[in-house]
């Protein structure tokens, strides 16, 4: 009876009783009815009130009933888990590790990739590049000025030129990355200073000598004293007034700059469209998109190509969102790791599902009995799902602990240079993520066994009382799970295999020079007291190199503007003599200013001609040594020796020709994972005077130790430099091997992580295979005993039993191989010397998985043949 019907019936009854009473007192029926109604009062409103109260009561009862059933389910689930502590611990641990690692990597991805940059209008910030022949480069000040004048997509466009500066506020000079920025740089980013102010428009003129410090520099040099604002600081020998301090973490281009001075463009600079120094950041107008800005600036660039063909031919503009530029490759990297970790989680879910299926079999009788006494199918599924959620919840709690430890490990172990990684936290988002995947996992690993339990053939189970009735259907589910686990494990292994192949390839690459015992350090001179300082710089560096050569610990020493693994300057417009001086013939090449003996000190073999010598000084014939790659490019199929090339100084009308006197072997100067490019070496003693400005009056000392790995040379070099110029800072001092390690750290880190994950995935998958096969075998032990008794050989039996697992294994391998072909494309950017679809890796991985899976199959089968037939048949 519904609430409405109950209320109607009850009130009807009441009125009928009254009428009956009044008739008994002598009223006629009609008068009795009227009297009863009067006595009752407002029937309609009473009915409404009673119905409302009745429904409320019904809802409360349902809610109460539901809650008490849920509590009952949870209590039951906990009791089930307690009754099987080993099962519970294994399942919860497997899941906790899976959930924890996935959450840790997710938190890192959240911090690095997903979280918006800490700027007021982060989504409107864009970076604008001068793009030359498909390479994004820095912008020329003149181009920046034109963009600013002509474009309408941006609220503001700011420019910054990054470079090393020598800062002196204590006794030892310090070398930091600094930037000359337009006054609107900070307002474009929308970041206010923590102390003091930023630059005013009035300071956007040549030489205002004011500076803004980073939080780090302020704390190091001024102890975080707010009175630092108003004091002066010496930069490259000149006094600057400190006007402000930026908040901690302000690093808009991830270049780690520590101080800012106004760019103060001169009129001349504002029309310079030839020197590309500036990073340009723009704040898009509200509603303007990157695409719109891109198409607008593209048309501006085309106009400028027509107006200034001399400087702007071949230049295009590229607009990218700032976040995209900064996050860049890390996005792929983190999602790759997340995918790998997620795969391991998936395998873990598969194993737990298998455990649950196995338990479902042993609980078949329990479910059958519960169904028999009236529990609906839905009720049993609900109870199983509750059990799984309890399992998942326990795993989530433990998993958060694992994630917390994982994040600390990741931040500590990850290579330097991943922006914002140190900001990784287990915060609300991470907890939400952990909870979500715990629920998803519970559903994934719980649904199959739960549905299976709900559709159990009751009669069969009760009659047989054993597992045989369910064996066949259950087998299919378990077999499929094993297949999936094998497929996912194979994918992980292929990924790890490709990275291992890359690592082997990289380790075997000849870098082009001898690493052993090689030590390098940067030395920067202060600003010249007078004039251009070229002679004085050359003399100081001469003193340093001469002193180094005389030291007994040092076998060979030289100077270069930049050693391999450091970024050398590039020369765009290199044109061999006899060719038209047009872009089509221009070669982009790295240039290194060196002292005599550089090639010898580095053990870079000379392929032809001679090395730069002490006789190659100003006034003598201008010479260069080119790399093989440059020689091939400039003079294919010809000897380069004696050929001439114009570079680095002079004009088109009056080129300064340099004669090639030697060809040096190629060097992997951007690191072993990068391709070899054209390079040339220019004698320091013949360097054009503005070359000292390009290199910011800083050179790299390369020294080869007579014994050992060269680490002991650091104090020697410091002492020599201090002797030659006490104000010159020595920085980035390290053995070449250390630098190589840093250079390869990210690749190595990814490799180790993926290998560990691949191994863990394989191990989990194999555990799954083993447990399933062992289960099949246990079902057929009596049959095996009969066969053995009838004369079957052990081999026959093993073959028979193994065949049962073979389908899953082969299916998994095929699916995994196909999935790998698709997945490996995401690894492309991490691979060196090996293609994503490398057949060797694929075959080797399939081989490993097949072999281990076969072993996991044969071992339980082999064990079955050892069972005593009598025990198997009667026990």
Partner 1 sequence: MSGDQSKDWLHGTLDVLVLKALSGGPRHGYAVARWLEDTTGDRLQIEDGSLYPALYRMERKKWVEASWGMSELGRKAKLYRLTPRGRKQLQLETSDWNDYVSIVSLVLLTATGAGPDR
Site of interaction with partner 1 (CB under 8 A): 1, 6-7, 9-11, 13-14, 16-18, 20-21, 39-43, 45-46, 49-50, 53-54, 56-57, 60
Residue closer to partner 1 by CB (options 61, 504) is 61
Phi/psi-derived region of residue 230, left when phi > 0, alpha when psi is between -120 and 50, beta in every other case: left
Tokens of 714: 């650091």
Report helix, strand or coil for 701: strand
The least CB distance from residue 17 to partner 1, in Å, is 4
The CA-CA-CA angle for residues 740, 565, 276, to 5°, reads: 150
The least CB distance from residue 61 to partner 1, in Å, is 10
The CA-CA-CA angle for residues 164, 168, 173, to 5°, reads: 75
What whole-number distance in Å separates Cα of residue 763 and Cα of residue 785? 31
Consecutive H or E run containing 353:
helix 322-362
Residue closer to partner 1 by CB (options 33, 285) is 33
Q: What is the DSSP string of 486-536?
A: HHHHHHHHHHHHHHHHHHHHHHH---SS--TTEEEEEEE----SSS--HHH
Residue closer to partner 1 by CB (options 10, 652) is 10
Cβ within 8 Å of residue 219, ≥6 positions away: none
Task: Give me the helix-helix angle, 468-508 and 736-789, nearest 10°.
Answer: 150
Give burial (CB, 10 Å; 0-12/13-18/19+) of 513. buried
The least CB distance from residue 343 to partner 1, in Å, is 54
The least CB distance from residue 50 to partner 1, in Å, is 5
What whole-number distance in Å separates Cα of residue 543 and Cα of residue 721? 9
What whole-number distance in Å separates Cα of residue 101 and Cα of residue 401? 10
Residue closer to partner 1 by CB (options 19, 648) is 19
The least CB distance from residue 10 to partner 1, in Å, is 5
What whole-number distance in Å separates Cα of residue 183 and Cα of residue 200? 6
DSSP letter at 111? I
Tell me how far the alpha carbon of residue 21 is from its chain's centroid.
Answer: 87
Residue closer to partner 1 by CB (options 43, 201) is 43
Residue closer to partner 1 by CB (options 40, 657) is 40
In 10 A of CB 210, how many CB atoms? 20
Contact 208, 262 (CB under 8 A): yes
Residue closer to partner 1 by CB (options 68, 468) is 68
Consecutive H or E run containing 766:
helix 736-789
Residue closer to partner 1 by CB (options 7, 487) is 7
The least CB distance from residue 65 to partner 1, in Å, is 14
Contact 432, 107 (CB under 8 A): no
Residues found in the chain: 875
- Cα separations in angstroms, 651 against 55, 314, 586: 95, 19, 14
The least CB distance from residue 75 to partner 1, in Å, is 24
The least CB distance from residue 74 to partner 1, in Å, is 25
Residue closer to partner 1 by CB (options 60, 427) is 60
Residue closer to partner 1 by CB (options 13, 795) is 13
If you compute the radius of gyration of the chain from its CA atoms, what whole number of angstroms results? 39
The least CB distance from residue 28 to partner 1, in Å, is 20
The least CB distance from residue 1 to partner 1, in Å, is 8
In 10 A of CB 656, how many CB atoms? 14
The least CB distance from residue 37 to partner 1, in Å, is 10
Report helix, strand or coil for 415: coil
In 10 A of CB 39, how many CB atoms? 12
Residue closer to partner 1 by CB (options 25, 82) is 25
Contact 540, 724 (CB under 8 A): yes
The least CB distance from residue 472 to partner 1, in Å, is 50
Residue closer to partner 1 by CB (options 60, 723) is 60
**Selection from 560, 564, 869, 527 nearest residue 699 by Cα:** 560
Residue closer to partner 1 by CB (options 57, 231) is 57
**Selection from 284, 304, 286 nearest residue 294 by Cα:** 284
Report helix, strand or coil for 148: helix
**Selection from 477, 527, 456 nearest residue 164 by Cα:** 527
The least CB distance from residue 33 to partner 1, in Å, is 14
* Torsion sign, CA atoms 693, 697, 698, 702: positive
What whole-number distance in Å separates Cα of residue 351 and Cα of residue 367? 22
What whole-number distance in Å separates Cα of residue 256 and Cα of residue 120? 20
Residue closer to partner 1 by CB (options 37, 620) is 37
Residue closer to partner 1 by CB (options 21, 464) is 21
Report helix, strand or coil for 650: strand
Report helix, strand or coil for 260: strand
The least CB distance from residue 374 to partner 1, in Å, is 22
The least CB distance from residue 4 to partner 1, in Å, is 13
The least CB distance from residue 488 to partner 1, in Å, is 55
Give burial (CB, 10 Å; 0-12/13-18/19+) of 83. exposed
What whole-number distance in Å separates Cα of residue 137 and Cα of residue 163? 15
Residue closer to partner 1 by CB (options 8, 215) is 8
The least CB distance from residue 390 to partner 1, in Å, is 31
The least CB distance from residue 67 to partner 1, in Å, is 16
Residue closer to partner 1 by CB (options 21, 649) is 21
**Residue ranges with strand state E in 651-692:** 655-664, 679-683
Residue closer to partner 1 by CB (options 60, 638) is 60
């Amino acid at each position: 009876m519904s609430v409405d019907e109950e209320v109607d019936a009850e009130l009807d009854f009441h009125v009928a009783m009254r009428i009956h009473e009044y008739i008994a007192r002598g009223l006629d029926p009609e008068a009795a009815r009227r009297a009863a109604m009067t006595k009752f009062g407002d029937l309609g409103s009473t009915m409404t009130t009673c119905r409302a109260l009745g429904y409320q009561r019904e809802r409360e009862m349902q809610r109460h009933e539901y809650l008490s059933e849920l509590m009952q389910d949870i209590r039951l689930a906990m009791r089930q888990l307690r009754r099987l502590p080993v099962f519970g611990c294994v399942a919860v641990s497997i899941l906790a590790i899976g959930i924890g690692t996935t959450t840790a990597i997710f938190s890192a991805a959240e911090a690095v990739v997903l979280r918006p940059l800490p700027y007021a209008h982060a989504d409107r910030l864009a970076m604008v590049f001068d793009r030359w022949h498909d390479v994004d480069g820095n912008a020329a000040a003149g181009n920046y000025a034109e963009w600013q004048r002509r474009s309408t997509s941006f609220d503001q466009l700011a420019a910054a030129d990054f470079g090393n500066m020598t800062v002196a506020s204590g006794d030892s000079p310090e070398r930091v990355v600094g930037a000359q920025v337009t006054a609107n740089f900070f307002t474009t980013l929308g970041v206010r200073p923590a102390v003091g102010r930023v630059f005013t428009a009035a300071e956007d003129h040549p030489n205002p000598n004011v500076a803004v410090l980073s939080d780090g520099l302020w704390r190091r040099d001024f102890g975080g004293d707010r009175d630092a604002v108003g004091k002066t600081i010496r930069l490259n020998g000149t006094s600057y007034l400190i006007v402000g301090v930026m908040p901690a973490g302000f690093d808009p281009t991830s270049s780690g700059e520590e101080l800012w001075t106004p760019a103060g463009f001169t009129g001349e600079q504002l029309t310079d469209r030839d020197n590309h120094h500036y990073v340009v950041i723009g704040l898009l107008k509200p509603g303007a998109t990157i695409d719109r800005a891109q198409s607008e600036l593209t048309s501006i660039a085309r106009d400028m190509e027509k107006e200034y063909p001399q400087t702007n031919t071949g230049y295009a503009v590229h607009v990218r969102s700032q976040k995209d530029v900064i996050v860049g490759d890390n996005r792929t990297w983190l999602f790759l790791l997340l995918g790998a970790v997620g795969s391991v989680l998936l395998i873990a879910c598969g194993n737990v599902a298998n455990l649950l299926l196995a338990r479902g079999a042993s609980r078949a009788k329990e479910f059958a009995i519960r169904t028999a006494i009236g529990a609906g199918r839905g009720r049993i599924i609900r109870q199983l799902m509750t059990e799984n959620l309890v399992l998942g919840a326990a795993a989530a709690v433990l998993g958060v602990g694992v994630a917390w430890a994982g994040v600390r490990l990741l931040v500590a172990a990850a290579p330097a240079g991943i922006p914002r990684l140190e900001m990784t936290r287990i915060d609300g988002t991470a907890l939400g993520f952990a909870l979500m995947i715990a629920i998803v996992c519970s559903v994934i690993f719980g649904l199959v066994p739960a549905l299976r339990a709900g559709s159990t053939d009751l009669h069969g189970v009760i009659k047989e009382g054993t597992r045989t009735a369910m064996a066949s259907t259950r087998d299919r589910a378990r077999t499929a799970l094993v297949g999936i686990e094998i497929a996912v494990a194979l994918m992980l292994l292929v990924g790890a295999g490709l990275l291992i192949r890359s690592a082997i390839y990289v380790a075997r690459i000849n870098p082009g020079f001898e690493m052993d015992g090689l030590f390098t350090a940067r030395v920067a001179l202060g600003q010249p007291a007078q004039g251009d300082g070229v002679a004085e710089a050359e003399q100081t560096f001469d003193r340093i190199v001469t002193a180094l050569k005389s030291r007994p610990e040092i076998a060979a020493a030289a100077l270069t503007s930049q050693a391999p693994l450091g970024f050398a300057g590039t020369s765009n417009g290199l044109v061999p003599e006899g060719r038209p001086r047009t872009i089509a013939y221009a070669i982009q090449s790295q240039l290194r200013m060196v002292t005599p003996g550089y090639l010898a000190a580095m053990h870079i073999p000379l392929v032809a001609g001679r090395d730069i010598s002490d006789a190659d000084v100003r006034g003598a014939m201008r010479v260069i040594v080119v790399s093989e790659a440059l020689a091939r490019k400039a003079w294919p199929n010809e000897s380069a020796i004696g050929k001439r090339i114009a570079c680095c100084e002079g004009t088109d009308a009056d080129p300064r020709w340099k004669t090639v006197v030697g060809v040096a072997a190629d060097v992997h100067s951007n690191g072993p994972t990068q391709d070899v490019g054209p390079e040339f070496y220019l004698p320091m003693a013949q360097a054009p005077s503005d070359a000292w400005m390009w290199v910011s009056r800083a050179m790299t000392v390369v020294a080869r130790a007579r014994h050992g790995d060269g680490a002991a040379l650091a104090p020697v070099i410091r002492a020599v430099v201090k002797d030659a110029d006490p104000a010159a800072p020595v920085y980035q001092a390290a053995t070449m091997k250390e630098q190589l390690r840093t250079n390869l750290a990210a690749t190595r880190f990814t490799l180790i992580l993926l290998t560990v994950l691949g191994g863990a995935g394989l191990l989990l998958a194999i555990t799954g295979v083993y447990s399933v096969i062992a289960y099949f075998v246990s079902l057929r032990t009596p049959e095996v005993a009969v066969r053995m008794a009838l004369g079957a050989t052990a081999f026959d039996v093993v073959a028979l039993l193994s065949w049962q697992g073979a389908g899953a294994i082969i299916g998994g391998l095929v699916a995994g191989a196909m999935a790998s072909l698709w997945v490996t494309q995401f690894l492309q950017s991490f691979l060196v010397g090996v293609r994503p679809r490398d057949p060797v890796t694929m075959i080797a991985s399939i081989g490993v998985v097949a072999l281990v899976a076969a072993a996991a199959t044969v071992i339980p089968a082999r064990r079955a043949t050892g069972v005593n037939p009598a025990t198997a048949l009667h026990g």
